[in-house]
Amino acid sequence: MTDALPSVLLVVMAILAAVVLVGLGWWAFSRFAGPPHSASQPITCGYRAAEDDPWAVGVLHYEGDLLVHRRPGGLSMTTQHRWARVGLDLGFADQVDGRDVSDRLPDVPLMAVPCRYGATSFWLALTEEHYTALRAWVEAAPPGWNSNVA
């Protein structure tokens, strides 16, 4: 009976170590996988700096009056760009095949829209629904904007 005690103790310690590792992994992924302080759901998008550049897949989030572009997934979602609603100008969108943007979007029709922010120009590719929502968000008055006008 005493010979079985060390092996049972070893099994219990291995199970506890596995539980701790899974818990730490879950905490790290939940802490770093999502955008900080964002109330909006991530929107998969394509981004390119010029019309001839290849598309890079990313995610967009609305954070107050900011549109934030990040790389998708992983333990660290680094912010690539931040655009304030007031300075973001959307051009006329054209439909583009999702395969041109990413292998992950083979059957998804996307809208490619040229954007300007100050002196910077870039392109975003979004689904039609998300493009419509982005255009409405850009054209809507920010909270408190001209609130004291009679």
Residue type at position 6: P
Give the DSSP letter of residue 17. Answer: H
Decide: pTM greater than 0.85.
Answer: no
Q: Return the pLDDT at 35.
A: 47
Q: One digit per residue, pLDDT tens: the chain, 150 residues?
A: 567 777 888 888 889 988 988 877 776 665 445 444 555 678 888 899 998 888 888 889 898 889 999 887 655 567 889 999 888 999 999 988 777 777 666 677 889 999 999 999 999 999 999 999 999 998 886 666 655 555
- C-alpha–C-alpha distance, residues 134 and 150, integer Å: 28
Q: What's the angle, vertex CA 24, arms to CA 22 and CA 25, rounded to 5?
A: 60
Model confidence pLDDT, tens digit, residues 18-27: 898 887 777 6
Q: How far apart are CA 112 and CA 34, in angstroms?
A: 25
Identity at 82, one-letter amino acid code: R
Bridge partners of residue 115, in order along the sequence: 90, 122
Architecture of domain 43-139: Roll (2.30)
pLDDT score, position 142: 61
**Token duo for residue 9:** 């103790």
Q: Domain-by-domain residue ranges, the chain?
A: 1-32, 43-139
Q: Which of 45, 138, 61, 141 is nearest to 96 (CA)?
A: 45
